[in-house]
Structure 1
Amino acid sequence: MFVLIFFGLLAVSVAIGKLPPVVLLFYLGISLLTYLIYYLDKSAARSGSWRTKESTLHLLSLLGGWPGAWFAQQQFRHKTRKQPFRFIFWLTVLANLGVLAWLHTAEGGNYLSTLLGAYRDFSF
């Protein structure tokens, strides 16, 4: 429910013009990627094979993949008992939400417009 509420609020923010649609698409994409990496890491944990570094999981959460990470943690019961991991995970969520809130300000909106404009102007 938590993830659905977040994406609902993000969609409303896009609908009222506070954020461009690419932000919603980015969150969806990185959340799906993060979910997949958690799935693969859980599978690796069960089989005793190569694992994903915790720092990689945290970086993905920080970049906006935390909804996928949170959903994967709940669904796979992965990384739910390690208290230090959970603490850092919630710090990444707060940091990401802080940046998202900043993007709703005039300064953040201008930065995002400049950033997206630079990518629009880039041609091959």
Structure 2
Amino acid sequence: MDYLTPETITYYLIAINFVAFAAFGIDKARAEGGRRRTSEADLLAFALLGGTPGAYAGRALFRHKTRKQPFSNRLFLIAVGQGALLVFWLVFRS
């Protein structure tokens, strides 16, 4: 059985982007409430696993982690790396 179909990849990307978006919202709410936070490593991991658009959307909507320069740089590097992989795949696919 082939599990890497366009359909399953699409479902995965929808799910991971929802998770990344929600994680930013939950972390913002926890920050405002003085409660235990989601680690920056976990937020970046969601982006690295394919949730970069959701991470950027959550970051913008919730205005969360926008002034943290090291975090912003790491998120940007993940996005650039994913973009480069996408271009590489599009150019060299057979």
What's the CA shift for 1:23?
2.2
Q: Which has the higher contact order (CA 8 A, sep 6+)?
A: 2
Deviation at 1:101, TM superposition (A): 3.1
2:40 to 49, 54, 72: 54
How far 1:89 sits from its partner (Å)? 0.5
TM-score (norm 1): 0.65
Q: Mapping of 1:1-124 within 5 angstroms?
A: 20-104=6-90, 105-106=92-93
Task: Say which SS state the counterpart of residue 32 (structure 2) adopts.
Answer: helix
Number of residue pairs aligned between Structure 1 and Structure 2: 89
**Superposed structure 1 runs of 4+ greater than 4 Å apart:** none
RMSD (Å), alpha carbons: 1.7
SS of the equivalent of 2:66 reads coil
Q: What 5-or-longer segments of structure 2 have no aligned partner? A: none
Percent same amino acid at aligned positions? 33
Highest CA radius of gyration, 1 or 2? 1
Q: Distance in 1 between matches of 2:44 and 2:82?
A: 11
